[in-house]
Chain A
Amino acid sequence: MKKRIFCSIIIFFISFKLHSLEVTLTQGTIKPTPIAVTNFYSKDDKEAKIGKNISMVISDNLERSGLFKPIERKSFIQNEESLSNHPRFEDWRIIKAQHLIAGKIYKKNEKISVEFRLYDVFSQKQLLGKKYETSEKNWRRVSHIISDAIFERITGEGGYFDTRVVYVAETGPKKSKQKRLAIMDQDQANHRFLTDGSYLVLTPRFSPNSQKITYMSYMTRNSPRVYIFDIETGHQEIVGEFPGMTFAPRFSPDGKKIIMSYADPDVGNSEIYILDLATRVSRRITNSSAIDVSASFSPDGKKIVFNSDRSGRRHLYVAESNGKNLKRISKEGGSYYTPVWSPRGDYIAFTKQEGGQFYIGVMEIDGSNERMIAKSFHVEGPTWAPNGRYLLYFKEERTAEDGSGGESNLYSIDLTGYNERKIITPLGGSDPAWSPLMH
């Protein structure tokens, strides 16, 4: 009897503790995360206007990423003033906001203080809180920095909003296009031209600190050369003294070297060279009778990828930065151009031409899992966002028989091949380059 009572008590407790319904989920919903971005609150009207602008920029940034869906402001129940004290999570749950961004702005000693908080509405927790002090004219940059902080906290991936894009602005008929260097924020704000269009410019690339641009220019009409352009001072300088044409330059990850192609007029083909910017000494990396061009460093600077026609068709090759252990990585048919190593180090983006079509594709660094993410009559020149998740490239329309059309524009796309968006520029655009993060 006693034993029975004892056993039944044990069984009761064990069953009480262990019984649990088990469910396994293998497929969730892939959709943009609903997020509520409120106006940054201020008692002063002027600052409140800045606060509103800041929240607009943040909202637009997050929406453009394709991963977030900002909720319509009209549906907000709690106002900014009340929100600046404490959020009423129930009010935000009703409108199905998964995350909430609230902020305050106030002036302090000729500077503005911008404070924001990111909340998880479902778990009713604050995920992030930061405060920035800056001059008033920097409000847009602060907006981008806040966007990056939010993006990073929610996705776990680095942000890319506080960045700039340099590209070649194009205008005029196809045969005699005027090409100018232009720079803008990634959201197309603060657009300005860096060159006047009196000479042709091609393939601009940012330095790792985003302060300099290296590009190829026909400043001296008969001998195109690689130049370095200082964004702040506007100063330009030629890179190295080569008897032939230098082109397709790119900075090394430490910013101390430039890798480029050099076409020796005596030999007739082009080889890959690395030039030390401090000593101005150049070193030849490849040595073959084929045309080797479009070299790009891996993020650690230990390897390079370039395209070469040494196998008959243009294919992608990976080698150590000294040219050793050369290996072809592209295996499919078609011709491959303009390879770029991802800042994350896991992928190589490229242009591919096959069957009368151009493609923007990505493959793993060993050449596996090749997939195309964009396709058109002419797409070319992919460049990575600093987080390695987004790409920019340019797309050229087909030219009509009467000579009309043929415009080229910049586009952004997600690594998955979704969320393709046209980048609105004052003129047509080609050869984009995405800067690293500026903060």
Chain B
Amino acid sequence: MTLIEASEKPDRRPGRERRIVVYLIVVAVLVALPVVARELGISFLSSPKLLPIALFIVLALGLNVVVGFAGLLDLGYAAFFAIGAYTVGLLTSPSSLLPYHEMNFWVAMVIAAVVAGIFGVILGAPTLRLRGDYLAIVTLGFGEIVPLVIKNTPEVTHGVLGIAPIGLPEIDLFGFQYRWGIESTPWYYLVLIVGALSVFLTARLRDARIGRAWAAMREDEVAAASMGVNLVNTKLFAFALGASFSGFAGAIWAGYLQQISPEQFDFSVSIFVLCMIILGGIGNIWGVVLGGAILGGFDRILAEVINNSIRSLATATGSEFLAELDVVKAKGFILGISLVVLMNLRPEGLFPSGRRKAELHAGDESGVQEHQAKETLFDKADT
């Protein structure tokens, strides 16, 4: 490969046209899915099932910026989800205790993302010097504190009672009017739009100046600083951006459920989202999407489907053992076992980024031998 070819070929992805076709097919399938499911009566693919999965994928994409790109292990990610949801709740709910609370949903959603981003910086600032395990502990604490604060400040948040109802979004574009309501398919489409934007924007950032700075910082902070990367700004931006994705997701979640309360945002949410990233392949956007789809799909759909088939098998065979089995109750157990097995067989996740794969399989690369022949190149460069 000549130098110019190399410099013009920034990545190993397939050609642009092919990629666009693949994207369009994926989008078409996702758009058609709930409609087709409804027509065919496949209840487990209906939009109330798909929506939480799609929303969790948005969360995973945001956390991927923090953990996958910038290498900052964040175990308190659900806190920003809560902050986004409560910001929208407080700004739009008729029952809100704020003096002004009849805000337009879209405006509130943007404010929710900004507020979550600000809290990302507030969490990030004191943890700048921390790495790895220590950072994980602080973020874990933050994730615990936020729901606790919500619970214990009923004069603002209604405490454990939560906030309900939440304001609804509506559009009025060129005479086309629509107001989101109980029907869940439009909410699903809203999440799809936000998810597609998340994929698009994080991919662009990864390939840009900031993405290289994140990768460099993740590899070696001292070297990154010595090459001119401002560690403070670069870290804080990762925290703020990841948090604002979560804030967006929280806003939609609140609008969809119409009821939010602190226990929806506990530690298990943070861990579940982190598991999606790890399963899919840290740092790889499509890996994260697929990891989210697999875990979310298991959690919301597959476990129940399996359970139902076991039930019908039990009645058919009269087996008492099968009748006792409950896959839904054992979800956590199955998830845990699968993760342990996966981490042993494929620590880089199912669909890793090339870089992560390289990291975790040090030593078994074939590139070394090729380079023996280049040993003399330096002398050529001299002449």
Do the two chains bind?
no
